[in-house]
Structure 1
Amino acid sequence: MIKQTEDPIISLYREGFPHFARMIRRMGGSLEEAKDAFHDALLIYMEKEKAGKLNLHSSPKAYLLGTAKICWLHANDKGAILALPERFEAAEPEDTATEEMEKSLMESLVRSGKKCMELLTAFYYDHFSMQDIAARFGFNGKRSATVQKFKCLEKVREEIKSIQRYAQ
C-alpha cells in the first residue's frame, strides 16, 4: 500500500499553528486572534507561492510565522514599526499626522544607533540572510545576528513608545 504524503500547506499549518498560538497567548492575544492572523498569513503565503513571488530567506515555517505575527500586530494596532518607508526615506505625507509619525519613526531609528540602523537596513531592505549579516557585522553566527536584530527592533519600539508618551 502506497502512503499518500500530506499536503504541504496542511503540514505547514500542523507544524506552525501551535507554536504561533502559544506566541500570541504570551503576547496577550486570544486563540481567535491567533487563528485569524495565521489564516491570513497562510493565504498570503499561498497567493505568493502561486504567483511565483515567494522569495524565502528562511524556512517556509519561519516565513509563515513571521507573516502571521505581522498580521496579528497590524490587526491589534501594534505594528507601527512595521510600516517603514522604503530605504527610510520619507514618503509624500498625506497630512500632518502622517508627517509627524514618519518624523518620529526616523528619529527613533536614528536614536537606536548607527549599527542597529545598518543591521535593520541590511535585513529588511537589502534582504541579506542572517548568515550574511553575521559575517558582515562580525557576529559569531546567524543566531547571534538574529538576537541582535531583535534587540535593535526592541530598541526602536521603545524609542517610539517614549516619543508617544512624551507627546501625550
Structure 2
Amino acid sequence: MVGQKEDHLVSLYRESFPDFARMVRRMSGTLEQAKDSFHDALLIFMEKEKAGKLHLHSSPKAYLIGIAKICWLRTLNNDPHLPLPEGFEAPQPEEEADKEEREKSLLESLQKSGKKCLELLKAFYYDHCSMPDIATRFGFKGGRSATVQKHKCLEKVRQTIKTSEVYAR
C-alpha cells in the first residue's frame, strides 16, 4: 500500500513539475524558486491526502500546480495573504516548542546519517557546491556518482525521520 502511494506521488511529481518549472521560467522565475514552491505544494498535497481532507475538483496535477503557483507567488510577493483555492486550508503554524523539537529531531537524523553524508549534504545545500566539485572533494568518480550518493544520504535521513517519534505525531 505504501509503495503504491509513493509510486503515485513520484508519477504525479514527474508529470507535474516540468510544466510548473516552465511556467515559472516564463514568468522570469528561477529553477530554485520552482523547486522550493513545488516541494512546498507537494507537502501540502501529501498532508491533506494523509488527513483525508483532499477533495479535488480537478485533476491532482492541476491542483498541485495551482498550489505550487500560489506558494511561488507568495514568496515572490512576500505576501502570506494571497487567496487560496476554494476548500484549501493552509497548514496551521506550529507551536514554538513543537517546532524546536522537530528541528532537534531533524538535526539528530542528519547526524545519524553519518559524518560523510552530513558533510556531503552541507556541501550541496549550504555551501552550494556543484556536483563535480563534490565528487572531487569526496573522492567520487564523477558528478553522477556524487548525485547518487547525495540521494542515498537523503534517503537515510528520510528513513530516520520516518521512524522518529516526532514524525508519528
TM-score (norm 2): 0.55
- Which residue in 1 is equivalent to 2:42? 73
- Change in Cα spacing, 1:75 to 1:41, as seen in structure 2 (3 Å) is farther
Secondary structure class of the residue paired with 2:8: coil
Alignment partners' CA distance in 1, 2:12 and 2:167: 34
- Change in Cα spacing, 1:70 to 1:124, as seen in structure 2 (3 Å) is same
Task: For 1:76, give the aligned amino acid.
Answer: F
Task: For 1:153, give the aligned amino acid.
Answer: L
Alignment partners' CA distance in 2, 1:122 and 1:149: 10
Q: Report how far residue 100 of structure 1 moved.
A: 1.2
Q: Report how far residue 27 of structure 1 moved.
A: 2.5
Aligned pair 1:117/2:118, yes or no?
yes
Alignment partners' CA distance in 1, 2:10 and 2:111: 34
Within the candidate set 24, 28, 36, 1:44 is matched to 24
- Which residue in 2 is equivalent to 1:140? 141
Alignment partners' CA distance in 2, 1:153 and 1:71: 17
Task: For 2:98, give the aligned amino acid.
Answer: A
Alignment partners' CA distance in 2, 1:103 and 1:109: 10
Secondary structure class of the residue paired with 2:9: coil
Alignment partners' CA distance in 2, 1:147 and 1:140: 11
Aligned pair 1:163/2:132, yes or no?
no
Over the residues paired in the alignment, what is the CA RMSD in angstroms? 3.7
Task: For 1:73, give the aligned amino acid.
Answer: L
Unaligned runs of 5+ in 2: 48-93
Alignment partners' CA distance in 2, 1:166 and 1:70: 18
Unaligned runs of 5+ in 1: 1-24, 57-62, 79-92
- Which residue in 2 is equivalent to 1:106? 107
| Identical-residue share of aligned pairs (%) | 45
Question: Is the Cα contact below 8 Å between 2:102 and 2:166 reproduced in 1?
Answer: no
Alignment partners' CA distance in 2, 1:140 and 1:68: 32
Question: Is the Cα contact below 8 Å between 2:132 and 2:143 reproduced in 1?
Answer: yes
- Change in Cα spacing, 1:101 to 1:44, as seen in structure 2 (3 Å) is farther
The structure 1 segments of at least 4 consecutive aligned residues displaced by more than 4 Å after TM superposition are 30-39, 66-69, 165-168
Task: For 2:99, give the aligned amino acid.
Answer: T
Question: Is the Cα contact below 8 Å between 1:112 and 1:155 reproduced in 2?
Answer: yes
